[in-house]
Amino acid sequence: EQRPRVLSGIQPTADSFHLGNYLGALRQWVTMQDDHDAFYCVVDLHAITVEHDPKLLRKRTRVSAAQLLALGIDPDRSTLFVQSHVPEHAQLGWVMQCLTGFGEASRMTQFKDKSAKQQAERISLGLFGYPALQAADILAYQAAFVPVGEDQRQHLELTRDLAQRFNSRYGRTFRLPEPYILKDAAKIYDLQDPGSKMSKSSSSPGGIIELLDDPRVSMKKIRSAVTDTGREIVYDPENKPGVSNLLVIYSALADRPLAALADEFAGKGYGDLKKAVGEVLVEFVTPIQERVRGYLDDTAELDKILARGAERARAVTSVTLARTYDKLGF
């Protein structure tokens, strides 16, 4: 296998991925398949670091996998699987926890953010140890690259530190992964609050476009998007965050350069822009929703695809785990 290996995961913690997930990450997952040996996983082990509903998790794990397939992840070219189906993640996760310092884990800003909102008794060790499991996810595959946004940079740094620490204590075992900067990754903002990024934890449901939303609902959300004062349609994120966000979405979905849009919308109003965004969005989500329905109508076939992915993943992770255990004296 000559193509560089890449590993990426996404949590099954919502009923649908949103437009930010797609334009900021999943669209690039699809393109990366062309020149990478890609491993993509639905990280359900990470989803139980907070209290959860098992029925909902099972459903969301399948819906997540179905969306990845519908968006263009090709299970013949890439290895698509569910994290819990590959036991080496948890096994190596324990090893990584034992290598991680308490102080080191305490400095992770994502943990600080997520735990700040909760009572100490409700914060699980799993949430605290999350970055160690994430390190295991990556190192198990000897991945060369990991696509990371700004928010994951610190975790990748920790992963590299842990790999280096293990290698120097016990002998060379893990490859140090490099961050992969996603080309054309767009940051998408909340339609109701264009100062914050579109997120599943947004407080205004009108602000997020879910890929599996009824297209009429999405059209309505776009029509109600917060725009800015003035009437000119120009890309100016500082002074016109709402309009700029719509332009970024339109540019990505219509595959037209941002620079060309000022001309395209010259003399037109915000209503025209919203109409155009709504139309490209519907055109984009309609076939995806059909394909997702197809996979969910035949979960036996979907489960078979995921079982095949897990088997291929285990062919790699079992080798890494055996070497790791051997080095540790097991």
Residues with a catalytic annotation lie at 114, 197, 200
By CB under 6 A, is residue 4 in contact with ligand ADP?
no
Q: Which amino acid is at 315?
A: A
Q: Tell how far CA 92 is from the center of its chain.
A: 22
CA nearest neighbour of 262 among 229, 240, 288: 240
Number of amino acids touching ligand ADP (CB under 6 A): 15
Q: Does the annotation flag 137 for ligand binding?
A: yes
Q: Does the annotation flag 197 for ligand binding?
A: yes
Which position among 5, 12, 20, 47 is part of the footprint of ligand ADP (CB under 6 A)? Answer: 20
Q: How many CA atoms lie less than 13 Å away from 44 in the CB half-sphere?
A: 20
Q: Tell how far CA 227 is from the center of its chain.
A: 27
Q: Which tokens go with 280?
A: 């490209």
CB of residue 40 vs ligand ADP: minimum separation in angstroms? 12
CB of residue 95 vs ligand ADP: minimum separation in angstroms? 25
CB neighbours of 270 closer than 8 A, spacing ≥ 6?
Answer: 227, 231, 233, 243
Q: Kindly indicate which of the ranges 23-31, 105-113, 160-168, 233-241 contains the residues binding ligand ADP, using the contact rule CB under 6 A.
A: 23-31
CA 163-169-172 angle, to 5 degrees, is 55
By CB under 6 A, is residue 200 in contact with ligand ADP?
yes
Question: Tokens 């016109």 correspond to what residue?
Answer: 240
Phi, psi angle pair for 153, to nearest 5°: -60, -45
Name residues contacting ligand ADP, limited to 96-155 (CB under 6 A). 149
Q: Does the annotation flag 224 for ligand binding?
A: no
Q: Does the annotation flag 74 for ligand binding?
A: no
C-alpha 4/C-alpha 68 separation (Å) is 21
Which position among 59, 175, 197, 323 is part of the footprint of ligand ADP (CB under 6 A)? Answer: 197
By CB under 6 A, is residue 25 in contact with ligand ADP?
yes
Q: Does the annotation flag 173 for ligand binding?
A: no
Give 149 or 206: the residue with its C-beta nearer to ligand ADP.
Answer: 149
Which position among 3, 59, 165, 187 is part of the footprint of ligand ADP (CB under 6 A)? Answer: 187
Count of helix runs (H) and strand runs (E) in the chain: 13, 5
By CB under 6 A, name the binding residues for ligand ADP. 10-11, 20-21, 23-25, 149, 187-188, 197-201
Task: Pick out the residues of the known binding site for L-tryptophan.
Answer: 137
